[in-house]
A and B are shown apart, each in its own frame.
Chain A
Amino acid sequence: MHETNKEWLPGFDKKFAELTHQMVKDLEKCLQCGKCTGQCPAAKLSSYNPREIIRDLRMGNVEKVISSHELWLCFFCSGCYAVCPRDINFPFAISMLRYAALAQGYGWEEVKKIKDPYAQDYYNTGLSVNINERNLGIKKEIAKNSKTDGRIETVRKKMGLPPKRLVSERAMSEIKFIADATGMTDLFKEINKKKAKEKQWNYGSPADLVKVKKGPNQKFIDVEEEEKEKIS
């Protein structure tokens, strides 16, 4: 499944710049010093290794990187860029490689997780964070601390603000127009129904350094349920 070096090496820099919308330059200048991996939060806890990924890209194993499980572990903290002696903006490369992975059919299940709460809220309300607190535990804490019902609307009213931040109708129609005209809306629909290809490659098993007790999970409440609660 791996390409041969010959396919990529001549004119690698140009091809890669194209693949990353010209947002990442100088990847071919990587020294393989490994400073990026040394400071990487994801590398600390998993098999993610930026140096190894750059090496694979440089060797022409683009398909391997794109189909890998590790492509979806980056934190986007830009720490690798901060320490890089060659100033390679690797998080941007990861972001663009993820688009390449989507084009090949990988990773659609990951973007669906992001699209459902955040992008849909952006499309519906103009803000990518919902005002309704879905975690009941947090809501209880806020209720206790603020001596209210724990809803952000109530807290905002207490502070002398309107219950919700106002986004004008003009702004809403404008962002919807941009979303429709540029294909954002279509992509959302595609994310909803697209079946992801199974990822092909694992660089290794997670190191599992810090253990967090799993479960019991907190109760989550649907916004709709909450509305019903309010009505009754």
Chain B
Amino acid sequence: MKTIIVACGGGIATSQTVAVKLENLLADRGLRGSVSVEAININSIPTYIKSADVYVSIAQHGEAQYDIPTFSGIPFLTGMGAEDEFAKILTALGEG
């Protein structure tokens, strides 16, 4: 089981919106069972980052750098460039 984390201010609204969209895209490719997506509070990243494979960020600007592959969550919110970003995420997960 691979894990994607998405973080925002509370782990409730923005990050969960992105998480739901990622889950739907994963489900479309039959990957729902092999990749889990978790929306978390941005202050909890240091706790979750150790067990995650990919970090999808809503707010890369000014953010600390982490050791795992990091992608932008913005395309999933605006709808523009979502397919491309998702393809990159799949490649990073070794599912591409």
Chain B associates with chain A: no
